[in-house]
């Protein structure tokens, strides 16, 4: 049930580069056919390419840049991203899921309900949930209360895989100093 994001960014980058090159070639061709001054002169580009040898530093540099960009785009397209939808425990033969943002907001709401906790922030990782914030009380007591509140909310939501919970709290000093 875990749904992964679509790889829009690599596709948009490649599409924009190809569209830009196609527009440049089309404009240059139309300008050449109509006899007007060209933005990019075909003759100057052809002369420059004919004067460049395969052993040139420019050819090697351009080749390395193209290979690195190609590998980066392939890696971005092939490697899985963060799941957009997390699976919930199956019930009554129905598969269900929750969006990462919704789960994060629900856990942040549960943590915000703890007395004495200010500015709770929840980050979801693959194998853990990390809650950070500031407290007016002792860190240990508030951390336990945050852990209980988040665990209770997770029990109600029932994700298929329950990550470990980690809390990082700081005490707010008297007068609001941090």
Rounded distance between C-alpha atoms, residue 89 and residue 9, angstroms: 32
pTM assigned to the model: 0.60
The neighbouring-strand residues paired with 91 are 94
Rounded distance between C-alpha atoms, residue 101 and residue 84, angstroms: 8
Tens-binned pLDDT, residue by residue, of the chain (178 aa): 556 666 777 788 888 999 999 999 899 889 888 988 888 888 888 898 888 888 889 899 999 999 998 898 888 878 777 777 888 888 777 788 888 889 999 999 998 888 888 878 899 887 889 988 888 878 888 888 888 999 999 999 888 888 888 888 888 765 554 4
Query: For residue 104, what are its two tokens?
Result: 């994060």
8 Å CB contact between 89 and 106? no
Residue 159, CB half-sphere, CA atoms under 13 Å: how many? 25
Strand, coil or helix: 176: helix
The neighbouring-strand residues paired with 164 are 128
């Amino acid at each position: 049930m875990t749904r992964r994001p679509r790889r829009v960014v690599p596709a948009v980058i490649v599409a924009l580069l190809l569209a830009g090159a196609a527009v440049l070639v089309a404009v240059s061709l139309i300008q050449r056919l109509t006899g007007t001054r060209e933005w990019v002169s075909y003759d100057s580009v052809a002369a420059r390419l004919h004067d460049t040898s395969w052993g040139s530093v420019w050819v090697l540099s351009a080749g390395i840049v193209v290979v690195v960009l190609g590998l980066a785009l392939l890696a971005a397209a092939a490697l899985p991203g963060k799941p957009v939808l997390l699976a919930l425990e199956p019930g009554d033969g129905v598969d269900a899921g929750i969006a990462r943002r919704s789960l994060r907001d629900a856990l942040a709401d549960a943590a915000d309900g703890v007395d004495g906790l200010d500015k709770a922030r929840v980050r979801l990782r693959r194998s853990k949930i990390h809650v950070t914030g500031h407290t007016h009380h002792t860190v240990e007591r508030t951390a336990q209360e945050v852990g209980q509140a988040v665990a209770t909310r997770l029990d109600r939501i029932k994700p298929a895989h329950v990550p470990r919970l980690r809390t990082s709290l700081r005490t707010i000093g008297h007068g609001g100093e941090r």
